[in-house]
Amino acid sequence: MELTHFNEQGRARMVDVSEKVQTYRVARAAATVRMAKATMDKIKEGSIGKGDVLAVAQVAGIMAAKKNSELIPMCHPLLLTKVDISFEIEETALHIRSEVRCHGETGVEMEALTAVSVAALTVYDMCKACLLYTSDAADERSSARPCSAICASTVSTFSIKRAARAAFMKRRNEEMAQVTAVNISEKKGVRKHEVPYIDVKCRHGIVGDAHAGDWHRQISLLADESVDTMRAICQLELDAGIFAENINTRGIELKTLPVGTRLRVGETELEVTQIGKQCHNDCEIKRTTGKCVMPTEGIFAIVIKEGRIQAGDEIEVLKNETH
């Protein structure tokens, strides 16, 4: 049987395999994503801001295998009977492997390669923000690169916190202002990562956050509307916590609130203590765009009433007792 991707006119075509006998087919492929140890540690801890890296990459890889014929023009659509994505973690390398099976007239090696390739690209996409905001960013930029081939697909799985945020965005036009994300960092001078909730305590701030303490800047807040203005001029991915803010909000003009204003946030109460601050000397966003919103539009507060804050909590401006 003559197999060629060209017809009598010399134009591309999909090979005719209708006369081939159906046989059991299996193919395996592998890819490696290399990164800094700090990034790998975040993957293992589950502290990457975008969510569970391996779960999303696994689903992406499975879905990619099933969509292979739509991505690679001359590949045949196949009825796959198995797609499996597995991971092996080393200190600075993530090895991704796929296995694809079917019973058909042609092989599944392209499906296996596509599966690991998309899985690896998904890992890179989930972790790329770490390249700008870790202390060893220069080393990470040189060592974290997409793999040379191969990858995966699937139905994406989102963490509960992202589902809650998505639900909030659908309700963004509601009358009450709301929290859209809460974020912490374990050390100062780095971007914060999104978490499902934060616990706040008087004379302390946020439990587990590097900026906690008995001082006037226990909690930082930044409006999504302010971040939206930066998204219009900045090509960086501006996720929650990228400006080192603890709480993201929508529906309230934080920058107009005077010092001393009391806010009811969910079951807690906060008091505004400062508007804006000096931008960090090594702010990647300011270097890229020439502008950063936190110095002029972010606010800081202390805890007046303890409790838990999470995405979806309503925000109410209380009467300012000092006026």
pLDDT value of residue 212? 94
Strand bridging mode 247-250 / 219-223: parallel
Domain with CATH 2.40.33.20 in the chain: 160-318
**For residue 6, what is the DSSP state?**
B
For the domain made up of 23-143, the CATH class stated in words is alpha beta
The active-site residue, picked from 52, 125, 199, 239, is: 125
pLDDT band at 190 (very low <50, low <70, confident <90, very high): confident
Annotation says 125 is catalytic: yes
Domain with CATH 3.30.70.640 in the chain: 23-143
Residue 151 in this model has a pLDDT that exceeds 50: no
What percentage of the chain has pLDDT greater than the value 90?
50
Distance CA 130, CA 142 (A): 13
**For residue 77, what is the DSSP state?**
P
The tokens for 151 are 């990858």
Answering whether pTM is above 0.75, one says: no
pLDDT digits 0-9 by tens, 193-204: 999 999 999 999
Residues 6+ apart with CB under 8 A from 218: 200, 204, 205, 206, 211, 212, 300, 301, 302, 303
160-318 fold = M1 Pyruvate Kinase; Domain 3 (2.40.33)
pLDDT digits 0-9 by tens, 250-293: 999 999 999 999 999 999 999 999 998 766 555 655 665 566 78
